[in-house]
Amino acid sequence: MGAVLSTDATTDSEVKTVAMSLEDRVYGTIYGNCIGDAIGLLTEFLSKEEAFQCYGSKKLEYSMKVKDGHRVRWNIGDWTDDSDQMILIILALIENRERKVTIATQQDFARRLRKWMQKGFPELGDWGGCGIGGTTLQVLTMDMFTTDPEQASRTVWERSGKMLAPNGGVMRTSILGVHQYQDLDAVIHNTEKLCRVTHADPRCIASCVAVTTAIAMMLQGKHRKEDGTVDAWGITSDSFEYAKKYLVADDGTEDSTAVQELQFHMEAEKLSYLKLDERRKIGYTYKTMGAGFWSLRQNDFRKALTELIMEGGDADTNGAVAGALLGCKLGVKGLPKSWRDKLCYKQWLDEQIIDKYLETFPLVQPTTASGNGAPLPNMKAQVHDNKENAESGERSEYEKGRKEEADSEKETKEESSKDSGTKVTDASKDVQMETAV
């Protein structure tokens, strides 16, 4: 067996030697979504300059969160509405037990969204959904929403002059790359149906499809290199082909201008190209999707997510999508241990959400990797156990990571203890306005 990844840092050389199971990647996707969301909260709504003024070049941890009027509403290590809504999708899938989403699951998700808007997750101390986007809020408050959510979202979009294309759909969509991952047609169908519950713009749907097909293909083992690593550019290229099908002109032909814009964002080689803190446009769905695919092409989770969220803008949403994609690529052991283990509600997430989903929809192991036909490794993911079975010569890196983690925990223990109470929300004050582009 190859060397086991350090639990606190992932390097390119370590990624190349790991045998990674399907479960590794699934947990990496879900945790990655929540981690990116939670660490992104540190710089949400800040400009790049303001983010640097607040955090400089420090090694970021949840406890460093500045306590301004926005961030103080969440406990240290808590995720925001992005991951809350991903969890609502998981619960709707569990309840309806549908492999292919129908109106029943759409309505169930809509009811859960409205209830969450009003009460949040009471078991976590919520008394209202925190961080609701402007477009989502408009749709949720329509009378028809729980009976015909697609029509409700389309009505809001049409009233905007068909201009609204915010990131409220793509932020929650990663789990739909996991659900029925072996069937791309089902993945695309489910993604479209659950995006349309609140977001009707074709750019929103295309963004969601790009993300979920990328995750599904990684879980299938497609575009796997001989050394076991993922060919991220190959994944990007295929996902682009699936996503662009939603960008059509009024006459039914491909909208070449819209397709070029999609491609520009998916293939951006530098974060600066995406202008993530661009005034009045931070919530554009393509910015978030582009941030996710940029991150997919990186090999170090902490480094990539730190660079991303230090760009500011809608950093929690950008982080959620980026974390899911890169988490799927690197697996659960490629996530920084402090970020993973210090998620505020990790135990609840494990026991009440992930475990129940996997009990309802057991993972079906793929038999071969598309491209080279080699069998996929099937090493059990040790997501609930800190003991790593490293081979000779690799133990020192693990111990180094543990020492760094202990030092970090010592530094943040005092501040973390002050915020260990219930999750703080204020639905009446917290309406995150998604940008009309």
Binding-site residues for Mg(2+):
80-82, 314, 316-317
Over the chain, what HEC string results? CCCCCCCCCCCHHHHHHCCCCHHHHHHHHHHHHHHHHHHHCCCCCCCHHHHHHHHCCCCCCHHHCCCCCCHHHCCCCCCCHHHHHHHHHHHHHHHHCCCCCCHHHHHHHHHHHHHHHHHCCHHHCCCCCCCEEHHHHHHHCCCCCCCCHHHHHHHHHHHCCCCECECCCHHHCCHHHHCCCCCHHHHHHHHHHHHCCCCCCHHHHHHHHHHHHHHHHHHHCCCECCCCCECHHHHHHHHHHHHHHHCECCCCCECHHHHHHHHHHHCCCCHHHHCCCCCCCCCEHHHHHHHHHHHHCCCCHHHHHHHHHCCCCCHHHHHHHHHHHHHHHHCHHHCCHHHHHCCCCHHHHHHHHHHHHHHHCCCCCCCECCCCCCECCCCCCCCCCCCCCCCCCCHHHHHHHHHHHHHHHHHHHHHHHHCCCCCCCCCCCCEECCCEC
Q: Which residues are annotated as a binding site?
A: 80-82, 314, 316-317
